[in-house]
Amino acid sequence: MSETITPDRKSILANIRIQRFTPGQHKSAFYDNFKVSVETGMTVLETLRLIKNTQDSSLTFRAFCRSKICGSCAVRVNGKPVLACSTQLMPILEDFKKESVTIQPLRNMPVLRDLVVDIDPVIEKLSKMHPYLMENRDRIPESLEQESLMSRQELSRFDYITDCILCGSCYSACSAASADPKYAGPLTLAKAYRFSADVRDDFKGERMQAAVDQGLWSCAQCRKCINVCPKDTRPAVSIQRMRKMSIDDGIHDTPGSRRAKAYTEDVAKYGQVNKPMLPVIVNGPKGWAAIEAADNYLRKHGIEPERQVCLLDGQNSAEQIYDKVKEIESKGENKI
Amino acid sequence: MMTYDILIVGSGGAGLYAALESRMEEELQVGVLTKVYPTRSHTGAAQGGVNAALANLDETDTWQDHWFDTVKGSDYLADQDAVEIMTREAPMVVREMEHWGCPFSRTDEGKIAQRPFGGASKPRACYSADKVGHVMLHTLYEQGIRHGVNFFNEWLALSLLHDGKRCQGVTALNIQTGRVHTIRAKAVILATGGHGRIYWTRTSNALGNTGDGTAMAYRAGLPIKDMEFIQFHPTGLRRTGILVSEGARGEGGYLLNGLGERFMSRYAPEKMELGPRDLVSRSCETEVREGRGGPDGEVFLDLTHLGADRIKERLPQIRELCIEFEGVDPINEPIPIKPTAHYSMGGIHTDLNGQTPIEGIYAAGEAGCVSVHGANRLGGNSLLDILVFGKRTGRHALEFARNNDLVPLGMDQEKADEAMIAAMMAGTSGDSVADIRRAMGELMAEKVGVYRNAKDLESAVDTLAELQERLGRVRVQDKNRAFNTELVSALEMKNMLDLAEVVTVGALARQESRGAHTREDHPERNDQAWLAHTLATRGGDGKPKLEFNPVTITQFEPQARTY
């Protein structure tokens, strides 16, 4: 027996607070408030479009596919980078228990107007990363009569990164990018890893150098990029893997790779990091200056510096962990 | 003046493939102009597959099978020589994408994976999970960076320039600055995609699929072809028109009307929900027309009886999509859906090399019409179309640019476009682009949609003329030139209205039902009178003039299209 369908649809009168700024017209950014009747099912993008169509046609934002695949409409909602098109507004209003929401442009990129940021600097960084496959002729036939074969396992090393839509959310959230404007950013380094991990590629060396030059070791592994990525591409994981690849490839002469090597070797040897020696290992002999400064500081406060690493009990547990890691690694790098 | 050997307008699959093909062979200057950024083009939204008879899954598959399936799917309106080229070259272009790094899913042996698709007799849709268009688009963009293609990002092309015989270039608006420029080029390739947005909210298309290149060509006097054929997908989300893929029905989903009745029993008692797209779309529309729809003129796709476990296991992406875009969890309640305009079979009339009647002007992809899709496109053939004809067009344009010089070109059109924009931005008015756009979308969905008849179409022609008048009075309220998206919308609106008129006039003229074009007053296909392409050119009075060209039949005599 059929029953009439009556969908449960409600509506809340909400205050939408939006950051505005037009260079040349305004001295600095400011906020406009718009009253909007938000209905069940309305996305942030629909709300922005409703405001533009009915209240203020000069409100400026980007949008194209409306279906989470083009990456145009990334903005910050209550501080968090999201795609406006795939973010429902009603649950946010209900979660925050207030009838107001703040929408701002992404961070770490210059604002062109209102919610539109200039992504060209990021695209330029990406372009310098050799973000393309260079044919490995051992794997890719010259002739188009044949396919190149690739196993599912080989594909799984990088397939998760190909979901990236270059929306810039990770770049906005990146603490290293806000600290150093020259840093390449999560998406660009992840893209470099995507190609370097592809068995069909033959350009790893040059690309690795580009990644090192553009800050492969500057990432703080804060993992904010992982939290905000709308496509779950986990850039910080790719950066880690790219670092490991660089060390495996014998690039041992960068401060970051020296630090990483020292960390792993120390923990294997002592069960902990030999911190007092890190400045020398990372920066070479001039690291002694840092050690001396630390020594002087401690003495000034009446503490005698200790150079010895004290060994802890249970050292063989660390060894067991190392063995387990090696075992997992030998099985390949699947999506975790 | 900016000068290129080849200027490509549009940065989807067709435009980027054409750019690569024309860029790789020699030192010609190739520019790609796009109103977005290349990776944001609508090619990226294609989820399912790209057809090629690789025979990786079924070794009996041949390109000839693909050829026949496509011709039959087109309801015999496709040109068979064009379909032959497309299906024969399909394996090459798919392998070329693969060689460039496109991450296709893999079979056990490590070959490109293939899946079955509607209307295909063998499993030949090559896929990459549910993101094949996205990975193809990114692969082409990456190779474009490698090979030094120049990109004009966030530029909107305005007018196509020619001297009556030869291509001269285009005028275009730099969206970021608001300035109009003339760009000279020996060859221009229009690859601007479809015009599904003439149905405004009743479409699965991106906000910018406004038929810019097709409208530019039409205004420049070039013929546009088979515009009345628009494919509707039965299950678009109520609010946004975003597609809920056929997988939901394949998994056992029911279609219910507002009364909760499984209405497909009225229209396809055996196949029920799994009938062909056009039939299911018409059935949904009939339920609503006869007053059995939901509160917002929708019907429902119900998955609740499948249970939470099965939905989570088998349809996780569909569930996510419903929650994110419609705010509905299909575990708890039925998904509200409406048939949604999905693909434009028609477009700029070209030959097998993508060339239009004006030398040096080309079109490819959804903006063009060779024609390979005829009256109805098969799933997996749109991505194939953009690859094969993007490549062929690029190669032909390369030859043309190599052997020809630039044609003299003045600044008149740039001045005219600048004056048009200045006029649009001067003063205030009571009419807004948003209102006209909504009225157009509703009109097209109601009167030029899934069902059509002479009376509705005639009234639609009149209403569209009124909307044209209203658009002439619209003034852009945002007076700042930099990144003025209201201005961009007004310019796109002009393109959409011109094309909506051609679609409607073509639909009125074609007194038969074929493929996606359903006339209630002429329910049968009529090969005697209408096995012909509709060619529309803009007349002196600004109204479309129609001519009809024969269909090229080389191999398969038209038969009834039954599945």
Q: Are strands B224-225 and B230-237 parallel, antiparallel or unpaired?
A: unpaired
CA separation for the pair B54, B92 (Å, rounded): 9
Give residues with Cβ within 8 angstroms of A183, minimum separation 6.
A174, A176, A177, A214, A215, A218, A219
Residues A161 and A214 in one domain: yes
Give the pLDDT confidence score for residue A332 in this predicted structure.
Answer: 63
Residues of chain A neighbouring B156 (CB-CB closer than 8 A)? none
pLDDT given at position B218: 98
Per the DSSP assignment, residues forming a β-bridge with A103 are A18, A77
A235 and A298, same structural domain?
A: no
Please tell me the predicted confidence (pLDDT) of residue A336.
43
Distance CA A141, CA A139 (A): 7
Mutation test of the interface with chain A: which of B20, B21, B32, B39, choosing the one with the most A Cβ atoms within 10 A?
B39
A16-23 mean pLDDT: 96
Residue A290 lies in a domain: yes
Domains of chain B: 233-341 (3.90.700.10), 427-527 (1.20.58.100)
Task: Give the predicted TM-score (pTM) of the model.
Answer: 0.93
Claim to verify: residue A136 and residue A231 sit in the same structural domain: yes
Find residues 134-153 of chain A whose CB sits inside 8 Å of chain B: 134-135, 140-141, 144-152
Co-location of A129 and A243 in the same domain: yes
Q: How many angstroms separate the CA of residue B106 from the nearest CA in chain A?
A: 6
For residue A312, pLDDT over 90 is answered with: no
Domain boundary residue among A233, A248, A263?
A248
Q: Sign of torsion, CA A68 A69 A72 A76?
A: positive
Across the beta sheet with B335-344, the strand order is: B230-237, B335-344, B299-302, B254-256
- Domain match, A214 and A126 both: yes
**Which tokens in the block code for residue B462?**
């009149």
**Considering all CA atoms of chain A, what is the largest pairwise distance in Å, rounded to the nearest integer?**
87
Nearest to A70 among B40, B294, B483 (CB): B40
User: Looking at the structure, do residues A125 and A225 belong to the same domain, yes or no?
Assistant: yes
Interface test with A, best of B23, B40, B237, B302 (most A CBs within 10 A): B40
**Does the structure show a pLDDT above 50 at B260?**
yes
Does residue A4 sit within a domain? no
ipTM score? 0.94
- pLDDT for the residue A286: 83
Distance (Å, whole) CA B409 – CA B241: 43
Residue A263 lies in a domain: yes
The minimal CB distance from A135 to the residues B99, B128, B238 is found for: B99
| Nearest chain B alpha carbon to A40 | B327
- Looking at the complex, report in whole angstroms how far the Cα of residue B524 sits from the nearest Cα belonging to chain A: 34
Domain of residue A129: give its range. Answer: 120-248
| pLDDT at A248 > cutoff 50 | yes
3-state secondary structure (DSSP) of residue A220: coil
Query: Mean pLDDT lowest for which of A104-118, A127-141, A290-304?
Result: A290-304
Shortest CA gap A55–chain B (Å): 11
B434·A53 Cβ contact <8 A: yes
For the domain that residue A218 is a member of, what is the CATH number? 1.10.1060.10
Domain boundary pick from A82, A116, A150: A116
- H or E element at residue B434: helix B433-447
Interchain proximity B37–A61, CB inside 8 Å: no
Query: What pLDDT band is residue A333 in, cutting at 50, 70 and 90?
Result: low
Portion of chain B with pLDDT greater than 90, in percent: 87
Cβ(B544)–Cβ(B501) under 8 Å? yes
> Which residues of B carry out catalysis?
277
Question: Same domain, yes or no, for A263 and A298?
Answer: yes
Residue A3 in any domain: the answer is no
Q: The CATH number of the domain where A70 resides is what? A: 3.10.20.30
Q: Is residue B442 over pLDDT 90?
A: yes
Q: What is the mean pLDDT of chain A?
A: 91
* CA–CA min distance B341, chain A (Å): 14
Residue A97 Rama label (left phi>0; alpha psi -120 to 50; beta): left
**CA–CA separation, B61 and B460 (whole Å):** 45
Chain A contact set for B256 (CB, 8 A): 2, 5
Residue A335 is predicted with a pLDDT of 43
A305 part of a folded domain: yes
pLDDT 10s digits, B368-410: 999 999 999 998 999 999 999 999 999 999 999 999 999 999 9
pLDDT at B5: 96
Are A272 and A231 contained in the same domain?
no
Q: Give the residue-averaged pLDDT of B415-438.
A: 91
DSSP helix/strand/coil, A118: coil
Whether residues A206 and A272 share a domain: the answer is no
Q: Quick one: DSSP state of residue A149?
A: P
Same domain, A132 and A210: yes
Contact list, B145 vs chain A (CB under 8 Å): 126-127, 131-132
Which of B383, B343, B400 has its CA nearest to residue B17? B383
Cα torsion through B474, B478, B481, B483, rounded to 10: -110
Q: Tell me which of A224-233, B339-348, B372-381, B420-429 is least confident.
A: B420-429
Cross-chain CB nearest to B112 (options A7, A147, A154): A147
Determine the pLDDT at residue A331.
74
Same domain, A201 and A260: no
Give me the pLDDT at residue A1, please: 53
Residue pLDDT, tens place only, A252-287:
788 888 888 888 888 888 877 887 788 888 888 888
CA distance A95 to chain B (A): 15
Q: Give B269 or B356, the one with higher predicted confidence.
A: B356
pLDDT of residue A309: 73
| CB within 8 Å of chain B, chain A residues 31-90 | 40-43, 46, 52-54, 57-58, 60-61, 63-72, 85-88, 90
pLDDT beyond 70 at B529: yes
Q: What is the largest CA-CA distance in chain B?
A: 68
CB contact under 8 A, A7 and B477: no
The minimum CA-CA distance between B135 and chain A, rounded to whole Å, is: 7
Would the CB atoms of B486 and A57 count as touching at under 8 Å?
A: yes
**Predicted local distance difference test score (pLDDT) of residue B519:** 97
B99 and A3 within 8 Å at the Cβ level: the answer is no
Across B316-334, average pLDDT: 91
Instruction: Name the domain boundary from A248, A278, A312.
Output: A248
Residue B272 corresponds to which amino acid? M
Q: Confirm whether A336 is domain-assigned.
A: no
| Domains in chain A, number | 3
User: What integer pLDDT is reported at residue B302 of this predicted model?
Assistant: 96
Same domain, A51 and A93: yes
User: How many CB pairs (< 8 A) connect A and B?
Assistant: 195
The alpha helices in A185-277, defined as continuous H runs, are 186-196, 204-213, 224-228, 235-248, 255-270
- Report pLDDT for A317: 79
Q: What percent of chain A has pLDDT over 90?
A: 69
A123 and chain B: CB distance < 8 Å anywhere? yes
Give the list of residues 6+ apart from residue B269 with CB closer than 8 angstroms, or none: none
Q: Tell me which of A201 and B117 has the higher pLDDT.
A: A201
User: Among A327-331, B205-209, B314-318, whose mean pLDDT is lowest?
Assistant: A327-331
Within-domain flag for A1: no
Alpha-carbon gap, residue B375 to B229, rounded angstroms: 6
Token pair listed for B299: 């019907």
Residue B26: pLDDT over 90 = no
For chain A positions 2-21, those within 8 Å of chain B (CB to CB) are 2-8
Is position A136 within any domain?
Answer: yes
Length in residues, chain A: 336
Query: Between these two residues, B430 and A38, which has the higher pLDDT value?
Result: A38
